[in-house]
Each structure stands twice: as C-alpha cells, then as structure tokens.
Amino acid sequence: MRAAIVGVGEVPPQRSTEGRTTMSFLADAARRAVADAGIGKDRIDGLLVGPQVGETPQHVPATVAEYLGLQPRMANVVDLGGASGPGMVWRAAAAIAAGMAETVLCVLGNHREPVAPRSPNRNPIREFDVPFGASGANTAYALLKTRHMAEFGTSDRDFAELAALARSNAQTNPTAIWHGRPADVDGILASPWVAEPLHLAEIVMPVAGGDAVIVTSESVAAGLELPHAPVLLTGAGEMVTHRAMSQAPSLTTGPLKPSMAQALAQAGLGIDGIGLLSLYDCYTVMLAITLEDAGLCAPGRFADWMRDHDLAPGGDLPLNPNGGQLGIGQADLAGGLSHVVEAVHQLRGTADGRQARAARSALVTGNGATMSEAVALVLEAS
Amino acid sequence: MRIDPHALSVPPPTPTAETLPFWQAARRGELLLQRCADCSRWVFYPRALCPHCWSDRLDWAPASARGTVRSFTVVHKPGHPAWAVAAPYTVAVIDLEEGPRMLSALVGIEPAEARVGLAVRARFVEVGEWTLPFFEPAG
Ligand SMILES: [Zn+2]
C-alpha cells in the first residue's frame, strides 16, 4: 500500500510578522493544503507537527489539534530540524500503513518577531561549542565549506554558482523572497562574509511562513474526487549521525548519502531515473555535498556537473525550480517541507510559471542540524 | 584580528556532573579526556558510557593536548552578540592526537594564517569564572 500526497499548501514567505503567532501560520498552511486537496478538514485523522521553540514547548500536537479543531487518532512531534518535513511524510505513510490513521496532516510554520526566541538548553553544543564562539548554524556550515575547498580544491566561485542559480530560478516564483532581485556570481561573491568562507548570499534568508501536506493511502486517494492527481511516495530513507559539527563522522559527505541510496532503491530507480531535484539548500555547501552524495557527480566535482546541465525550470534536470530556500527564504522548519510542496507541484503540473518539462519522478531531501539529520524521499507522478 | 580572550565576557560553559572533571582539569591547565577501560578508545565530549562499545568503565586520563586543524572558519558575524568584540576570530574543529574531535577557537594566530592540517596545541585561558582550552599553533 503506497502513500499518496493529495494536498499541499504554502504560506508566502514574509520577512516580519509582528502581532502574529506561529499557530496562525500553521492554521493558514493547513487550510491551504485542505483546500488544495478539495477535502473537508474533518477527514484529517492524523497530525504531525514540529517542535516549537519558545511558544509551545510541550504538548505540541494537542495544542495544535485543539487550535485547529481536530481530534486526530494519531498525533506526534517530528523533531529532525530541516529534515522534519520529509520525515513527516514518511512517518505519515508508516502510520497509515499501520492503521493508526487514514489521512494525515503534516504541518510546519513560524512567525517572525524582531527578536527570535533562543532555545533554553542545547547541550552538548551549549557547553562545548558556544563558549568558544561557535553559536548558530553559520559557523558549522562554514567549517564544511572550508574542508570541501581544502580537500577538493573547489573555489568560492564554484559555490557562488549554486546561489546564483537559486536567485535566477527565484525570478520564476513571485512569492520568493528574492523575486525581483536576481544576483550573478559576482553579486554573490560581493556579499559580505558572515563566517568565512561563507558569504551572506550563500545563506538562506530567515522568513516567516508555513507549509502543509496532506498524506493518505493510494487506495483512499483513488476514492476521492481530487482536483489534482495524487503524487506517490515510492521510496524513503533516513539517517541521524551526530548533533555537534565537531562530532560529524565526515565533513565532506553526510547522512543523506545512504538515505538517498535507500530511497532510490525502494523506488527501484537509479539517480539517472530522476527528472527533478528538490534538494535542501540551507547553504550552498549543503547543496553541493548533496549533489555529490546523490551520485550525480564525483566528490568535489559539483561545479563541473553544473556546467554540464541546464538546471533551470525548463532545463534538462531542474534543480529547485522555485528558487529553493536560497531563493524563497527559509521559514524555519517549514523550509524542509517546502521542498516536498514544490516537488508535488512540479509532478502534478501545478507549478505556475515555472513548470518543469514533464518530470515523472523527483528526489526530495531534508537536512537538519549540522548535516546530521537526513531524510530523502522519492516522489512520483501517478 | 587576534582574539584577546582575557577581554571576553562570553557565555560560560554549563558543566554537568558528567563533564565537571573536564572543566576542573582545564583550570589546572590540563586537557583531561575520558578513556574506555574496555575498548581503550578515547571519548569526547564526556559522558556516562562509551559511545564505541557501551562500556560504563570510563576513566579520566590526561591527553597530549595536541592536534591538527580539521577545518576552520573566520567568524565575522558571531551568532552570539558577546563575541562581536572579538570578530573576526577563528573557530576550528581540532582532530586531537588521541582520536576524538573537539571545537575550539584559535588564539595566537592571524585568521589569514589558519590552515587545514595546521598542528596546534591547547592554550588554557581564564575567561570569567572558567578556564577554556583554546588552541594555538604548535610551532
Ligand atoms: Zn569502549
């Protein structure tokens, strides 16, 4: 019994949202997904949510369910950072297969006040990283880029190509935070250092937003009068390797490598059978390592590979046609779900103005913490 | 810019009962790590069981306090405001001689001189209430 995604919703990203709550973004995203599926909200009997720093530290599923007027038979938190969204889709499929629920709402979102809340306890990072001047993800991913450059001889320009592609693709997406503001490689390189060798334009812009996905079984989907063709989950893989960057087994390959291999094997596809790449791109270096870990090219050769392909929405192998998170902005944990939402639009032909050429299969990734939490999905058109 | 660690007023370590010996040893200028009595492997950060073999026979042992730079970054915009006075400063992941890896800041070196593979040794510096193992070129 395969799982089917029958509805998706995305709240357009916004830079600031004074006076709004995270709950209101979850509600907005959920309502859009239910409307997209053409079902009533009362069909939802499963709920997957993320952890919420600051607002609702405990009892998150009950709080969200109550706010939305749902009484799910299965409710849980998925806490895998940027991999939470894809991780939800696989867990929804498993819960449906186990009889825990029939139709699952996966929803993530966040508001954005001027001062972001800080997590109360982040050991071991709080104890062994923060006192040495390493707070936040930027230093962690800068360490990855330094090592990649030292080990493979990749250049600052190589990585800037990935950011420039994101900014170019974002011009096809009016809701992208960088819509109307493209940047070429020189523009990316001209942006200031944040954590050298990472430039500001190689880092996602934090935004407010929300994403939601409705998952049901293929057989239930077949009995519904859906406005859009369902998209099938045909393969998945997951791995968690560490928490602090200092404890990473490798700085040049990550847990997405076995996750993607497993997802492709389950789907019965090789990487060359994938027609669309919807890959988690919190930083240019994360996207570079993912392309290499996917087996699209040899380690260290992502820039050569890029030159051999047209990665625009109309190209031979579209990569994050909506701009990815480097183009649309990162709505905190919802950013991981945005790659699922975009792949669904592309596979069912509802990607207005940026529709890829008849892609039948997509590789979707999520990445959390310090290249340590990984989920890969293969989605296919029905 | 070289870090002047003595001038820093930054978030201190948050020791637990498991990790306190590490920080107490740092006060004495010693890099104290755990070593597994069953599989002989070294362990960092400190914990109650060996992550390699799940033995709970972990002994504290002084380490060489020497290692090499696995990777580094020059931080221009710190994630924590207290580090802004030190920026740009260099944060590195160190491959310790004994095997474990730890994160620290590099001192006694210009950011432009930092290199992957650079040989470094610990330099213990009092910062507020605690003594932190920073690293400097081994020379
Ligand atoms: Zn052991």
Residues of the domain holding B93: 11-137
A70 domain residue, yes or no:
yes
Q: Give the nearest partner residue to A132 out of B70, B104, B117, using CB atoms.
A: B104
Flag whether A122 is in a domain.
no
Which band of pLDDT confidence, cut at 50, 70 and 90, is reported for residue B125?
Answer: very high
pLDDT at position B2 is 61
Both tokens of residue B30?
Answer: 């010693």
B73:A244 CB<8 A:
no
Domains of chain B: total: 1
- In the prediction, which pLDDT does A119 show? 65
Which helix (H) or strand (E) segment is A267 a member of? helix A256-267
- Residues of chain A found within 8 Å of residue B104, distances taken between Cβ atoms: 132
Could you tell me if residue A257 is inside a domain? yes
Q: Collect all residues of chain A within an 8 Å Cβ-Cβ radius of residue B19.
A: 127
User: In this structure, which long-range contacts are made by residues A198-201, counting pairs with CB atoms below 8 Å and at least 24 apart in sequence?
Assistant: A198/A138, A198/A141, A198/A142, A198/A145, A198/A283, A198/A284, A198/A285, A198/B73, A199/A156, A199/A160, A199/A163, A201/A160, A201/A163, A201/A167
Name chain A contacts of B118, Cβ cutoff 8 Å.
Answer: none
In a domain, A37, yes or no: yes
pTM of the shown model: 0.97
Mean residue pLDDT of chain A comes to: 96
Nearest to A195 among B75, B92, B104 (CB): B75
Q: Compute the distance between CA of residue B139 and CA of residue B118 in angstroms, rounded to an integer.
A: 10
The pLDDT tens digits for A214-252 are 999 999 999 999 999 999 999 999 999 999 999 999 999
User: pLDDT tens, A263-284?
Assistant: 999 999 999 999 999 999 999 9
- Cβ–Cβ below 8 Å for B111 and A196: yes
Specify the pLDDT at position A341.
98
| B13-36 average pLDDT score | 96
- pLDDT score at A54: 67
Q: Which pLDDT score, from 0 to 100, does residue A56 have?
A: 80
CATH number, domain containing residue A337: 3.40.47.10
Q: Is the pLDDT of residue B1 over 90?
A: no
Q: Are A112 and A206 in contact (CB under 8 A)?
A: yes
Question: What digits encode the pLDDT tens for the residues A165-177?
Answer: 999 999 999 999 9
**What confidence tier does A357 reach under pLDDT thresholds 50, 70, 90?**
confident
Torsion-angle region of residue B108: left (phi > 0), alpha (psi -120 to 50) or beta?
left
In a domain, B3, yes or no: no
A133/B45 touch (CB, cutoff 8 Å), yes or no:
no
Q: What is the DSSP string of A289-343?
A: HHHHHTTSS-TT-HHHHHHTS--STTSSS-BSTT-HHHHH-B-TTHHHHHHHHHH
- CB contact at 8 A, A318 and A346: yes
How confident is the model at residue B3, as a pLDDT?
A: 67
Q: Is residue A125 part of a domain?
A: no
**Which residue in chain B is spatially nearest to A242 when comparing CA positions?**
B51
**With 60 as the cut, is the pLDDT of residue B10 above it?**
yes
Q: Which of A120-129, A201-210, A228-237, B99-108 has the lowest mean pLDDT?
A: A120-129
Using CA atoms, how far residue A215 sits from A59, A340, A363, in Å, is 23, 12, 17
Q: Which residue is it, tokens 């079902």?
A: A39
Size of interface A-B (CB pairs under 8 A): 115
Task: Determine, for residues A193 and B10 on separate chains, whether the beta-carbon distance falls below 8 Å.
Answer: no
Whether residue B116 and residue A244 make contact (CB cut-off 8 A), yes or no, is no
- Alpha carbon of B43 to ligand 1 centroid (Å): 8
The domain in which residue A277 lies consists of 3-113+204-381
Please tell me the distance between residue B66's alpha carbon and the centre of ligand 1 in angstroms. Answer: 22
Residue with tokens 């930092």: B114
The pLDDT value given to residue A53: 67
Say yes or no for a CB contact (<8 Å) between B103 and A127. Answer: no
Q: What is the mean pLDDT of residues A121-126?
A: 80
The three-class DSSP label of residue B12 is coil
Query: How many structural domains does chain A have?
Result: 1
- Which chain B residue shows the shortest CA-CA distance from A150? B116
Helix residue ranges per DSSP H, A38-104: 60-68, 84-97
Q: How far is CA A187 from the centre of its chain?
A: 25
Asked if residues B58 and B35 have their Cβ atoms less than 8 Å apart, the reply is: yes
Tell me, what's the pLDDT at A138? 97
Nearest to A131 among B13, B78, B92 (CB): B13
Q: Which of A57 and A58 is assigned the larger pLDDT?
A: A58
> With bands split at pLDDT 50, 70 and 90, how would you rate the model's confidence at B139?
confident
